[in-house]
């Protein structure tokens, strides 16, 4: 292995929750999200990072306006396409981790000059939905603007089963396994993490001379902050070294924190734009420069300069001596004084020379014992002086606040507005004593979630379709000789992959048939023995040719279920994948495994700390 | 001028109305539009054309699904990015005609290998809308997948005024001026074409040694087919040599037809997919290979093979001896026989070896004197045999049909379903005797149109905003010294263009100030004298640097109206543009003009035939 120029230090800029297009109709704030995203890209340039890593929620809406898409693409194109050499390689099978038809990292497409690669998982906004389970990231990925990974096919029955294929990144002597897990509904992921074989983490093959640094980037509500319904970091596998927690948690807790007993640190960069006027969002926003050499890393937090100033205070009217409950004018005077002071404070701290952005100002007023005043009217005085004149004041009562606090508050004691108690389909069904056979309650829940939160009008349609197809397949399998069916299905699969021009599998020294066969079998298999492959040449860099011609993702009549859709999407030698053992597997299993081959192979090892 | 390799024959593949994503939820037909678009791209490859020219309506919907966008981008990326050398140049100021922030044709971006350039105008589906007036084409253009031209800023007051900046294309000794006019509401364009100075066609500067071939591509309803409300080809300027009529008219009338007295030919390629089950759509679909050498051209029509077979027949039940009005079974038997025969016909004509697509079948049944039968029930027999079992039969009565025919029929005698009599805001207002001062009736109409047809929820919002801004500007101008205002506005403009990083004007040997000044004056000028420029070096190839940083399209408080938005969007030396004389200008004006300079300059000449 030759040492490259650029040394062995992998430099990653980490940001998350950019919420592009947030408040795009607001006259004052419409460019905020783009300004900061542009700053992030320019920081990536300034610090000469190897790549930019995003933790999801790049967009604020599921169906952003044309304007938002155009602005986003313009920024990506301006910063990502240039002649700067990319000095790291993804040595694993790229098509296994990346969600696009071209099956490779964007900078390896010979028709593009990509100087700044961007890697991202999806978040809860704009995640995959619809018949083809596609998200905005897929659009940007198809256009070669970013490398979208961490997308999982949950399947339709039961809790679901996913396999996380990390990107194996090498720079000089530094080896990083980058795991991505795009947003899954918190409850579902929670359940999956509790079940023994629901989440399979693919590991690098053991090699004595290589020490891998294992990073996971995920996008979930964090249990620490929302104990009722988040995902706990204690459920994550212990072989991880570093966890990047994107999403939901907009508070910037960027300094890596050790999770005791787990052997990894967690960073929570927080959103790059304030989408809620709460205390947690008023703190300085940062991105993280993560430098990794071998298994050592150095985190450096970089403050974002373009973020609109945001001042937050809480006041309790009762405690103020000069405020008289019987005289509304004193309330006005008191609150106006606070706002003026905050505006003045922002003006003073602004860098001299540049004109500062109008600030966001939020006063949380505990008005127990007082009556509220008209918030809109109050704000009229501040048009042109603050960015949010219409909602400067937020009135609360102390009694109410304490009650809520027990149920759902984040670490800073703020009440989350989206933590409302939601009626689930589960509850509805148990109320009405319905008996569901073909349909699965949890998946109906998922469909409802997609319908409501992702604006996905086809959510129920595609869910029903999948369920019916699955039921039909089960019926067929039950009534005929199962071995024969498997063969037929596989033959059908092969037929398809042969017929579609340009969709040939790109196996080296191994016929496509074999790999599909192995894969579909390994997917269908339920015992714990990992399936070993003997292909000595598997490497991720060979997926360069044009990808398949058509994507027939909808399962046609009985053409082989999940294996078919996997074959349709991925263009790779899937035979070499091995399911990672879960926590229940013991060390004996690892010993039985073959000798290591070359870096970049998926192995089946778990490293406990 | 050196002769390039590739000779002087410019080869263009012309297609239109691909309607990508049409029926994307239909199990059988969901891939039809993509299959044919892919065939078109592969024909472009096969015939080694210089570029692919699309006449609008690339997409079927204004807000296509993620899946449709992804599939489209995948096809464009696969066919357009490659190493094939592009053997023609756009020698005019590219930023004047192209609608993107990068201000250049996509194949000149050094960070991309574009081997097949695509040029397109917008159609009526997915045209520009919203606050920033952006369309799906802008998204693809920002992503460097196509060259979007023919977008005009109609402004908000009155009929509007547009200037059409053609692309000047040179290949060897062939010079083509390619005019694009994206869809404008038919009525409005009609009115504009009737007014003397509403549409300005920029012409190449006269040069003795160069003979320009002038092509116009537009996307309108064609008066010939819909006499009541289309746009007449007789209103187009006579200097044109060749007109490509995209849009609405889905019938393939691809053989160029001379328009008597106008000196040009018109081709109407028609849609590449049947979106209406009418006779006009049942004809063989084609694309046009247009080869141009000097001012000679050769049109070759190429049949599309991937289009789903479509059989259409009309029957009159009264004329059939074996059909008995009192016996429904005889109607069934008769119609089933027809369908069977049509299916058989398709099977026979299909190329041997390949499995043909399920055909579309439509029987228009004149049932005068009979009762209708259940069309859905009738079709159940043909599930899996025809692509549209649910709507094979269409029942009409002869009386009704004749009555409609007088009002609105196309050339083939079919009734257009979208030719319904629509209530306009004009009518509403005159009914209620409303007096509008600041708001303009026609533009309200436009906004309504965008709201309904383009799904543009901000149509009214942005229209009102524009109107208010304009009214405010007028007020300011009326109360102050107008010269001073002009200067202030221009200074403000310049300020903006200086401040925005990367947004410098790229004038050679001419300060940006001068060019903006000249442009804003020439735009504001109302007399007929063309404004000449003396810049001897203007050339279109210099717009290569990265485009401006941010687009602040929303007119801020009094920052100079149309000139400001032009400056924000275009990165070019606008000083060299000259308004083309309209038909009212006489030959004298032409004689006063300066001597010709170099090809690629816009002149002000009109050539009558």
Pairwise pLDDT comparison (B1 vs A57), residue with the higher score: A57
Residue of B nearest to A38 (CA): B549
At B375, which CATH number? Answer: 3.30.110.110
Four-CA torsion B283, B289, B293, B295, nearest 10 degrees: 30
Which one of B46, B74, B129, B357 would you mutate to disrupt binding with A, by most A Cβ within 10 Å of its Cβ? B74
CA distance B541 to A514: 52
Q: Is residue A417 situated within a structural domain? A: no
Q: Tokens 């059409």 appear where?
A: B164
Q: How far is B500 from chain A (nearest CA, A)?
A: 13
- Indicate yes or no: CB of A132 within 8 angstroms of CB of B67: yes
Is residue B101 located within the same domain as residue B209? yes
Cβ under 8 Å to B: A residues 518-577: 546-547, 549-552, 554
Q: How many domains does chain B have?
A: 4
**B404's tokens:** 């409609």
Q: A338 and A470: one domain?
A: no
B158 confidence band (pLDDT: 50, 70, 90)? low
Per-residue pLDDT tens for B377-412?
A: 999 999 999 999 999 999 998 754 444 333 333 333
A86 min Cα distance to partner chain B (Å): 14
- Shortest CA gap B590–chain A (Å): 41
- At residue A428 the predicted structure's pLDDT band, cuts being 50, 70 and 90, is low
What is the side-by-side order of every strand in the sheet holding B174-181?
Answer: B89-90, B167-171, B174-181, B212-219, B242-246, B264-268, B253-259
Window B:221-240, CB contacts with A under 8 Å? none
Would residue B605 count as lying in a domain?
A: no
Write out the two tokens for B244.
């490509």
Residues A54 and A33 in one domain: yes
Query: What gap in Å lies between CA A30 and CA A25, rounded to an integer?
Result: 6
Best residue of B29, B46, B70 to probe chain A, by most A CBs closer than 10 Å? B70
Q: Are A228 and A184 within one domain?
A: yes
Residue range B61-109, pLDDT digits in tens:
988 999 999 999 999 999 999 999 999 999 999 999 997 889 999 999 9
Q: How many CA atoms lie within 13 A of A368 on its CB side?
A: 11
A296 or A490, which is more confident: A296
Taking CA atoms, B223 is separated from B229, B241, B412, in Å, by: 7, 19, 14
Please report the pLDDT score of residue B580 as a whole number. Answer: 44
- Which helix (H) or strand (E) segment holds residue B37: the answer is helix B32-46
Q: What is the dihedral of CA A525, A529, A530, A535, to 10 degrees?
A: -90
Give the span between the Cα atoms of B381 and B389, in whole angstroms.
8
Query: What's the angle, vertex CA B358, arms to CA B356 and CA B359, rounded to 5?
Result: 105
Contacts of A7 (CB under 8 A, 6+ apart): A171, A172
Is residue B585 in some structural domain?
no
Run of H or E residues at B139: helix B136-142
Q: How far apart are CA A338 and CA A361, in angstroms?
A: 10
Alpha carbons A164 and A147: distance in angstroms, whole number:
16
Q: Is the pLDDT of residue B140 over 70?
A: yes
How many Å apart are CA A431 and CA A415, to the nearest integer? 30
Residue B355: half-sphere exposure toward Cβ, Cα within 13 Å: 3
CA dist A530 and B494 (Å) reads: 68
| pLDDT-based confidence at residue A598 (cuts at 50, 70, 90) | low
Q: Around Cβ A526, how many Cβ atoms within 10 Å?
A: 6
Task: Give the DSSP H/E element, type plus range, for residue B603.
Answer: strand B602-603
Q: What is the pLDDT of residues A341-398, one digit of tens each?
A: 999 999 888 766 667 899 999 999 999 888 888 999 999 999 999 999 999 999 998 7
* Whether B117 contacts B147, CB under 8 Å: yes
Mean pLDDT throughout B425-429?
A: 51
User: How does the average pLDDT of chain B come out, rounded?
Assistant: 75
Report the share of chain A in percent with pLDDT over 90: 48
| Residues on chain B touching A125 (C-beta within 8 angstroms) | none
Which of B190, B199, B109 lies closest to B161, judged by CA? Answer: B199
Residue whose C-alpha is closest to residue B268's, from B288, B253, B287 = B253
Partners of A176 in the beta sheet?
A169, A213
End-to-end CA distance of chain B: 29
What spatial distance separates the first Cα and last Cα of chain A, rounded to whole Å?
A: 28
Identify whether residues A173 and A319 lie together within a single domain.
no
Last residue of a domain, one of B458, B479, B500: B479
pLDDT digits (tens, 9 = 90+) for A407-418: 333 333 333 333
B573 and B463 within one domain: no
For residues B445, B447, B453, B456, the Cα torsion angle rounded to the nearest 10 degrees is -170
- Residue B139 shares a structural domain with residue B151: yes
A546 CB neighbours in chain B (<8 A) are 78
Q: Same domain, yes or no, for B437 and B504? A: no
Query: In sequence order, which residues have a C-beta less than 8 Å from that of residue A495 and are 6 or more positions away?
Result: none
Distance in angstroms (rounded) separating the CA atoms of residues B507 and B514: 10
**Whole-angstrom distance, CA of residue B366 vs CA of residue B372:** 10
pLDDT tens-digit series, residues A226-257: 667 789 999 999 999 999 999 766 778 899 99
What is the rounded CA–CA span in Å between residue A525 and residue A532? 13
pLDDT at A468: 73
- With contacts defined as CB-CB under 8 Å, which chain B residues touch A101? 74
Q: What 3-state DSSP class applies to A5? A: coil
Maximum CA extent, chain B: 87
B284-300 burial code (b ≥16 CB/10 A, e <16): ebbbbbbbbbeeebebe
Q: What is the pLDDT of residue B505?
A: 28
Residues A73 and A213 in one domain: yes
Q: Which residue is associated with the tokens 């009737």? A: B194
Residues of chain B contacting residue A109, judged by C-beta atoms under 8 Å apart = 81
CA distance B122 to B129: 11
CATH number at residue A248: 3.60.21.10
B468 contacts on A by Cβ (under 8 Å)? none
Supply A34's token pair: 């783009």
Asked if A501 has any chain B CB less than 8 Å from its own CB, the reply is no
CB contact under 8 A, B549 and A67: no
CB contact under 8 A, B139 and A69: yes
Is a pLDDT exceeding 60 seen at residue A195?
yes
Q: What angle do CA A278, A282, A285 make, to 5 degrees?
A: 130
Query: Which of A166, A162, A180, A176 is closest to A217 using CA atoms?
Result: A180
Which 8-state DSSP code applies to residue A581?
P
* pLDDT (0 to 100) of residue A448: 74
Nearest to A142 among B73, B102, B549 (CB): B73
Taking the CA of residue B185 as centre, how many other CA atoms within 13 Å lie in the half-sphere pointing to its CB?
Answer: 19
Q: Which residue has the higher pLDDT, A607 or B230?
A: B230
Considering only the beta carbons, identify the residue of A63, A112, A131 that sits closest to B67: A131
pLDDT of residue A208: 77
Is residue A415 included in any domain, yes or no? Answer: no
Decide if A583 contacts A196 (C-beta within 8 A).
Answer: yes
Cβ contacts of A340 within 8 Å, gap of 6 or more = none
A352 close contact with B: CB closer than 8 A = no
Question: Given this model, what pLDDT does residue B143 score?
Answer: 96
Distance CA A227, CA A247 (A): 16
A354 touches chain B (CB under 8 A): no
| Boundaries of domain holding B370 | 310-386+388-407
Decide if the complex's ipTM is over 0.85.
no
Domain boundary among A265, A288, A303: A303
Kindly determine whether residue B66 and residue A113, on different chains, have CB atoms separated by under 8 Å. Answer: no
Q: Cβ separation of B131 and A25 shorter than 8 Å? A: yes
Residue of B572, B597, B585, B595 whose CA lies nearest to B165: B572
Nearest CA distance, B134 vs chain A (angstrom): 6
Pairing of strands A9-15, B199-201: unpaired
pLDDT digits (tens, 9 = 90+) for B446-455: 777 667 666 6
Q: Is pLDDT above 70 for B545?
A: no
Per-residue CA distances from A174 to A14, A64, A294, B553 (Å):
18, 39, 4, 46
Q: Give the H or E element holding residue B299.
A: strand B296-303
Reference A312, options A212, A386, A216; nearest CA is: A386
The predicted model gives B432-447 an average pLDDT of: 64
Integer Cα distance of A275 and B417 in angstroms = 46
When scoring A32, A70, A122 by the number of chain B Cβ atoms within 10 A, the one with the most, hence best to mutate, is A70
What's this model's pTM, rounded to 2 decimal places?
0.72
Residue A592 resides in a domain:
no
Distance from CA of A423 to the nearest CA of B (A): 29
What chain A residue is nearest to B76 in terms of C-alpha separation? Answer: A143
- CA A147/CA A89 separation, integer angstroms: 13
Q: Are residues A526 and A457 in the same domain?
A: no
CB-closest option in B63, B112, B138 to A112: B112
Among the partner-chain residues A77, A102, A550, the one whose CB lies closest to the CB of B142 is: A77
- Residue B134 in this model has a pLDDT that exceeds 50: yes
- pLDDT of the residue at B42: 98
Domain-ending residue, one of A303, A334, A351: A303
Residues of A (400-459) whose Cβ lies below 8 Å from B: 458
SS3 call for A149: strand
Residues B230, B186 contacting (CB under 8 angstroms): yes
Q: Quick one: residue B274, left, alpha or beta (phi over 0 = left, psi -120 to 50 = alpha)?
A: beta
Same domain, A517 and A497: yes
The secondary structure of B356-375 as a DSSP string is: PPPPEEEEEEE-TTS----H
Residues A133/A140, Cβ–Cβ less than 8 Å: no
**Tens digits of per-residue pLDDT, B484-501?**
444 444 444 444 433 333
For helices B441-453 and B459-479, the axis angle rounded to 10 degrees is 160
Residue in chain B closest to A72 (alpha carbons) equals B142
Mean pLDDT of A204-212: 85
Dihedral angle sign, alpha carbons of residues A280, A281, A283, A284:
positive
Residue A160 has pLDDT above 90, yes or no: no
Q: Is B124 a domain residue?
A: yes
State whether B299 and B321 are in the same domain.
no
CA dihedral B532, B533, B538, B543 (to 10 degrees): -90
SS3 B499: helix
Does residue A326 form part of some domain?
A: yes
Cβ-defined contact of A143 to B73 (cutoff 8 Å): yes
* Residue A583 included in any domain: no
């Amino acid at each position: 292995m030759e040492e490259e120029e650029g040394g062995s230090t992998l430099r990653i800029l980490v940001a998350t929750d950019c919420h592009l297009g947030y408040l795009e109709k607001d006259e004052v704030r419409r460019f905020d999200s783009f300004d900061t995203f542009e700053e992030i890209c320019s920081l990536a340039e300034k610090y000469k990072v190897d790549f930019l890593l995003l933790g999801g929620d790049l967009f604020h809406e599921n169906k952003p306006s044309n304007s938002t898409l155009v602005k986003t693409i313009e920024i990506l194109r301006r910063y990502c396409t240039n002649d700067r050499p990319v000095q790291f390689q993804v040595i694993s099978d790229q098509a296994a981790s990346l969600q696009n038809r071209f099956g490779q990292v964007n900078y390896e497409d010979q028709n593009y000059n990509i100087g700044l690669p961007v890697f991202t998982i999806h978040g809860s906004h704009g995640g995959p939905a619809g018949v083809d389970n596609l998200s905005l990231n897929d659009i940007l990925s198809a256009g070669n603007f970013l490398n979208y990974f961490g997308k999982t096919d949950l399947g339709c029955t039961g809790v679901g089963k996913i396999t996380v294929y990390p990107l194996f990144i090498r720079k000089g002597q530094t080896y990083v396994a980058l795991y991505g897990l795009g947003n899954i509904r918190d409850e579902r992921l929670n359940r999956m993490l509790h079940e023994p074989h629901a989440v399979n983490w693919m590991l690098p093959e053991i090699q004595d001379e290589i020490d891998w640094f294992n990073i996971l980037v995920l996008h979930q509500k964090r249990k620490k902050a929302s104990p009722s319904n988040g995902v706990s970091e204690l459920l994550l596998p212990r072989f991880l070294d570093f966890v990047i927690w994107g999403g939901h948690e907009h508070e910037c807790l960027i300094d890596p924190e050790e999770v005791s007993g787990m052997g990894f640190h967690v960073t929570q960069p927080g959103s790059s734009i304030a989408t809620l006027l709460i205390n947690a969002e008023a703190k300085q926003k940062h991105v993280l420069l993560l430098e990794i050499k071998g298994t050592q890393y150095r985190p450096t937090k970089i403050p974002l300069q373009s973020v609109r100033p945001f001042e937050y205070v809480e006041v309790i009217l009762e405690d103020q001596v000069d405020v008289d409950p019987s005289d509304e004018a004193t309330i006005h005077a008191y609150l106006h004084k606070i706002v003026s002071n905050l505006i003045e404070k922002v003006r003073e701290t602004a860098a001299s020379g540049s004109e500062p952005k109008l600030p966001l100002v939020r006063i949380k007023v505990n008005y127990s014992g007082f009556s509220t005043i008209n918030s809109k009217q109050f704000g009229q005085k501040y048009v042109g002086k603050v960015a949010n004149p219409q909602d400067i004041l937020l009135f609360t009562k102390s009694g109410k606040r304490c009650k809520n606090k027990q149920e759902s508050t984040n670490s800073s004691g703020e009440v989350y507005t989206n933590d409302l108690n939601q009626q689930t389909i589960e509850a509805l069904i148990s109320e009405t004593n319905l008996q569901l056979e073909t349909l699965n309650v949890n998946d109906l829940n998922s469909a409802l979630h997609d319908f409501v939160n992702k604006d996905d009008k086809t959510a129920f349609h595609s869910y029903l379709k999948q369920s019916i197809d699955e039921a039909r397949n089960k019926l067929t399998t039950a009534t005929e000789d199962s071995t024969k069916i498997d063969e037929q299905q596989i033959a059908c699969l092969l037929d398809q992959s042969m017929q579609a021009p340009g969709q040939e599998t790109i196996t080296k020294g191994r016929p496509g048939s074999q790999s599909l066969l192995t894969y579909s079998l390994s997917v269908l298999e339920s015992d714990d023995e990992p399936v070993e492959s003997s292909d000595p040449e598997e490497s991720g860099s060979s997926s360069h040719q044009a990808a398949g011609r058509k994507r027939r993702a909808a399962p046609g009549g009985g053409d082989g279920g999940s294996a078919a859709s996997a074959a349709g999407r991925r263009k790779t030698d899937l035979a070499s994948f091995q399911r990672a053992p879960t926590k229940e597997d013991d060390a004996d299993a690892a010993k039985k495994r073959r000798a290591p081959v070359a870096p970049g192979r998926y192995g089946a090892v778990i490293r406990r700390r």
